[in-house]
Amino acid sequence: MDQIKIFLDEKDMPRKWYNLAADLPTPMLPPITPDGQILQPHMLEAVFPKNLIAQEMSTKRWIDIPEEVIEVLYRWRPSPLRRAVNLERYLKTSAKIYYKDESVSPAGSHKTNSSVAQAWYNKQEGIKRLTTETGAGQWGTALAFACHAFGLECKVYMVCVSFEQKPMRKIMMRLWGADCVASPSNETQAGRAVLERMPNTPGSLGIAISEAVEAAVSDKTGKTRYALGSVLNHVLLHQTIIGLEAKKQLKKAGIKTPDVVIGCAGGGSNFAGIAFPFVQDKINGAKIDIIPVESKACPKMTKGKFTYDHGDIAGMTPLLPMHTLGSQFVPPAIHAGGLRYHGMAPLVSQAIVEGLLSPQAVDQLHSYEAALIWARTEGFVIAPETSNALACVIKEARKATKEGKQKVILFNLSGHGLLDLAGYDKYLDGKLESSQVTPDEIKASLARIQGSHKASARKTGRW
């Protein structure tokens, strides 16, 4: 019988995170201020603790994971690598499909890999309270769990469409002692301004980020900081434990290098987590197709522009060099709330510019079709975000079969969907609709990008 579960011993859990910034053949452009100055670390100190700012700017290849962080991660890590033999049989594919199961964490997704680290680093700097945004609620629950583990208070601004679609997420946050409100809220200036302009808005991650940053920097005690669940270099760094474990597990299964690596991408963190250790191999000569998968309702990588843009709607964050649809873009209310972010992580964006990654976009009807196939073959109920990656896995497996190739496909199962059943219900009732933005909507949103700071798309031309 084929081995379908590959575990690692606790002693084999990686002790260092991998930083792609050390190996990118063309260095990343720096973040800048609205007047075009290169952002200096001290300018971020009202928002993030100094130790995380240092990590954000670091180009060191390997960064030690603190022992106290490892102790918490041990509760569910190393996470299993499994082979999806039932899906392979259903597809009658020549491909072998492996997946890293990040749904086994207490909050149900990969997000805890960074929330635990961020809470710990904040605690070291004497911070007492963290504020954050959350889309589908996965990051909010992950941060609530981590804050509780290290004795910090936690305040979460949850995108209002997801707040209504997924009320159980709020209960989970409360279980771990966090306070969660729907965004836009009346609690912040940024929220009130949006409500005045767009009273019926479904909300967006860009809006919720403005609220959470404002709540952090306006706290007069100086003991509150903001935590971001994706996009930034340090968040992606913390997630690389996924790909580093997967490498060891594939080796145990006799596989030197996968042919295809796939992850869904909202701000880019779980994709980067599984992919970056393999991007390093690709830079060093390996032949791997590496695919970040976005939603056609928020297609920044496939239809957006690589330029400097704000990470939030109110322009409170620095300008980041990234693929973006414009920080004013409010995506349609798809069920994959975690993919409704207008921008892509600068590290992922630079790897796209370099030609190391091949982004794809999926319509929500296809992602739900894939999720249903998964539930009826492998049995697990996956998060709507994850199902975008799965739709791409199925496509790549079919392609391999057609070409008669025995490819190894690796993907990241970023989270379970046990609190996302409303979307499944709609799909089963035939009430879920296709959701795509039109070229005109994209054009109008790109035209609204503030400032005129162009990011030059520098690349070596090797890929």
- The minimum distance between CB 267 and ligand PLP, in angstroms, equals 4
Q: What is the dihedral of CA 332, 333, 337, 340, to 10 degrees?
A: 10
Return the H-helix or E-strand segment holding 125.
none
Pick between residue 93 and residue 210 the one whose CB is nearest to ligand PLP.
210
Whether the Cβ atoms of residue 189 and residue 214 lie closer than 8 Å to each other: yes
- The minimum distance between CB 32 and ligand PLP, in angstroms, equals 23
Partners of 321 in beta bridges: 308
Pick between residue 123 and residue 169 the one whose CB is nearest to ligand PLP.
169
What's the order of all strands across the beta sheet hosting 81-83? 5-6, 81-83, 96-101, 408-413, 260-264, 289-295, 360-362
Pick between residue 282 and residue 416 the one whose CB is nearest to ligand PLP.
416
The DSSP 8-state label assigned to residue 279 in this structure reads H
Q: β-pairing, 62-64 with 5-6? A: unpaired
Whether the Cβ atoms of residue 315 and residue 363 lie closer than 8 Å to each other: no
> CA end-to-end span of the chain, whole Å?
39
Phi-psi category of residue 64: left, alpha or beta, with phi > 0 → left and psi -120 to 50 → alpha: beta
Whether the Cβ atoms of residue 229 and residue 142 lie closer than 8 Å to each other: yes
Whether the Cβ atoms of residue 154 and residue 179 lie closer than 8 Å to each other: yes
- The minimum distance between CB 315 and ligand PLP, in angstroms, equals 21
- The minimum distance between CB 378 and ligand PLP, in angstroms, equals 16
Phi-psi category of residue 257: left, alpha or beta, with phi > 0 → left and psi -120 to 50 → alpha: beta
- The minimum distance between CB 87 and ligand PLP, in angstroms, equals 19
- The closest residue (CB) to ligand PLP is 338
User: Residue 176 is encoded by which pair of tokens?
Assistant: 């771990």
Whether the Cβ atoms of residue 407 and residue 96 lie closer than 8 Å to each other: yes
- The minimum distance between CB 417 and ligand PLP, in angstroms, equals 8
Pick between residue 73 and residue 195 the one whose CB is nearest to ligand PLP.
73
- The minimum distance between CB 346 and ligand PLP, in angstroms, equals 13
Name the residue among 51, 56, 4, 5 with its Cα closest to residue 28.
Answer: 56
Pick between residue 138 and residue 249 the one whose CB is nearest to ligand PLP.
138
- The minimum distance between CB 242 and ligand PLP, in angstroms, equals 10
CA distances from 43 to 52, 311, 421 (A): 13, 16, 42
Residue 289 φ then ψ, to 5°: -90, 125
Name the residue among 352, 342, 335, 362 with its Cα closest to residue 441.
Answer: 342
Pick between residue 245 and residue 407 the one whose CB is nearest to ligand PLP.
245
Pick between residue 195 and residue 423 the one whose CB is nearest to ligand PLP.
423
Name the residue among 374, 304, 297 with its Cα closest to residue 336.
Answer: 297
- The minimum distance between CB 142 and ligand PLP, in angstroms, equals 9
CA distances from 166 to 3, 162, 462 (A): 36, 6, 44
Binding site for ligand PLP (CB under 6 A): 109, 135-136, 138-139, 230, 264-271, 338-339, 383, 385-386, 414-415
Whether the Cβ atoms of residue 226 and residue 45 lie closer than 8 Å to each other: no
Pick between residue 282 and residue 300 the one whose CB is nearest to ligand PLP.
300
Pick between residue 93 and residue 270 the one whose CB is nearest to ligand PLP.
270
Whether the Cβ atoms of residue 24 and residue 350 lie closer than 8 Å to each other: yes
Q: β-pairing, 305-310 with 408-413? A: unpaired
Pick between residue 267 and residue 299 the one whose CB is nearest to ligand PLP.
267
- The minimum distance between CB 119 and ligand PLP, in angstroms, equals 17
Our measurement of the distance from residue 448's CA atom to the centroid of its chain's CA atoms, rounded to an integer in Å, reads: 25
Pick between residue 293 and residue 400 the one whose CB is nearest to ligand PLP.
293
- The minimum distance between CB 36 and ligand PLP, in angstroms, equals 28
- The minimum distance between CB 230 and ligand PLP, in angstroms, equals 3
Pick between residue 44 and residue 143 the one whose CB is nearest to ligand PLP.
143
